[in-house]
Amino acid sequence: MSGEKDTLKIIDETINAVQGIPTILETAKKELMNIRNEKEKLENEKTSLESEKTQLELDKKKLEAETKQLEKDKQERDQKIGQMTEEQMRLLEEYAKVKEELGKFAKIAAEMEEQDLSFERIQALLSIYSVLLEKIFQGQPHFRILYTLHGEKESMSRDEIKNTTGIQGAMVLRAVQELDKVDLVEYDMDTGMSKLKKRLFA
């Protein structure tokens, strides 16, 4: 009798265990799905992070290239500024020389007016004036540009003036602008053309 009870107990336990299998399987299925979803989520996050990393590397390279270009541009600007400063100093020195020579010439002319102008005096005065034109004014960009525009072409571009006279571009621009101010040359900033307005000699 005791053996039958044990057998029935085992059977009941087996039935209960078998009945619990669907629940266990369902729980296992849910856990597996959760793990799969979590895995997909992690893979997506990994892909996103790798994409962001790649973009950051590209941005870094772009910034490095832009930094190098900015440094190059800065060096070029510094070099141009240095050249312009040197050119301005040279021009100031030349203008100082011209001013000094003109002062001397004006003084001589004033002295000549107070004296009898003999042929020798006139000849001496003209000799001094010729030396001034040859040694001083001929070296100035204003004179050379004005003289060039008195040639076959009364209208020339900045590049044409630069190539014809050998004067640097910055000096050409400054000279034609100053000649425009005194109404000797008409300078068009849009086209870069300079046109002689007043012919001083044939």
pTM of the model: 0.37
Which two three-digit tokens encode residue 39? 């895995």
Angle at 145 between CA 141 and CA 151, to 5 degrees: 150
One domain, residues 134 and 144: no
- pLDDT value for 8: 63
CATH of the domain at 149: 1.10.10.10
- pLDDT value for 28: 72
One domain, residues 117 and 165: no
Question: With left for phi above 0 and alpha for psi between -120 and 50, is residue 156 left, alpha or beta?
Answer: beta
- pLDDT value for 43: 87
Sequence-ordered list of residues with C-beta below 8 angstroms from that of 170, at least 6 positions apart, any chain? 83, 84, 87
Which among 92, 118, 139 is the end of a domain?
139
Which among 139, 161, 183 is the end of a domain?
139
Domain span at residue 169 reads 140-202
Count of domains forming the chain:
2
- pLDDT value for 84: 65
One domain, residues 116 and 164: no
- pLDDT value for 110: 65
- pLDDT value for 136: 47
One domain, residues 35 and 72: yes
Nearest to 136 by CA among 128, 145, 125: 128
- pLDDT value for 188: 92
One domain, residues 46 and 25: yes
One domain, residues 192 and 170: yes
pLDDT in tens, the chain (202 residues): 555 666 666 666 666 666 666 776 677 778 888 888 888 888 888 888 888 888 988 888 888 888 888 888 888 887 877 766 676 677 677 767 766 766 666 665 666 565 555 656 666 656 655 555 555 455 577 777 877 888 878 889 999 989 988 888 888 888 888 888 878 889 998 999 999 887 766 5
